[in-house]
Amino acid sequence: MPEMTIYGIIPGSPSDSGKGYPTPDDAARAALSEIDTRSVEDKSEYAGNVYQKSDGSYTFSPPARGTDRTSRAEDSQVPKGVKVVATYHSHGGEFAVSDELFSPTDKIKATFGHNDGYLITPRGDMYKYLPVDHVPPAAQNEFAGGLVVRLN
């Protein structure tokens, strides 16, 4: 059978997407754990959104596959009317030094989207990026370029 490369949502792949978690960080950790192995094996980025459900809990939209260099959370749809609070994505697996960090583009997207960004690197490290307007006001001068927090 010929091999196919599918971008976007992988049909039939099991996911905890939709399951409720108490905080956005918990939902993001679940999403990032889910795409960790897949990203490295496929050498592809995966991305999606973290959103609040109507019951107040948080969850994530199904991971959408990107390319080896890019991914788009917009390719992973959320239910109508929910509030997206963050995006998540993986860095796919060249194991380059730059794969272990948020890229400048990642930070720009989060800043203009006014959403936190979550990242899992090829080594399995999880990070959260807070754009400057999500940094506590007293620390905004010090972290004018935003703030990166290690999650695991």
What residues line the site for Zn ion (CB under 5 A)?
103, 106
Q: Shortest approach of Zn ion to residue 103 CB, angstroms?
A: 5
CB of 53 to Zn ion, least distance (A): 26
Nearest distance from residue 93's CB to Zn ion, in Å? 12
Over the range 135-150, which residues count as b (16 or more CB within 10 Å of their CB) and which as e?
Answer: beeeeeeeeeebbeee
3 state DSSP class of 114: coil
Q: Which is nearer to Zn ion, 52 or 103 (CB)?
A: 103
Nearer to Zn ion, 101 or 132 (CB): 101
Which of 34/106 has CB closer to Zn ion? 106
Report the C-alpha gap between 60 and 72 in whole angstroms. 14
Output the CA torsion sign for 80, 23, 152, 109. positive
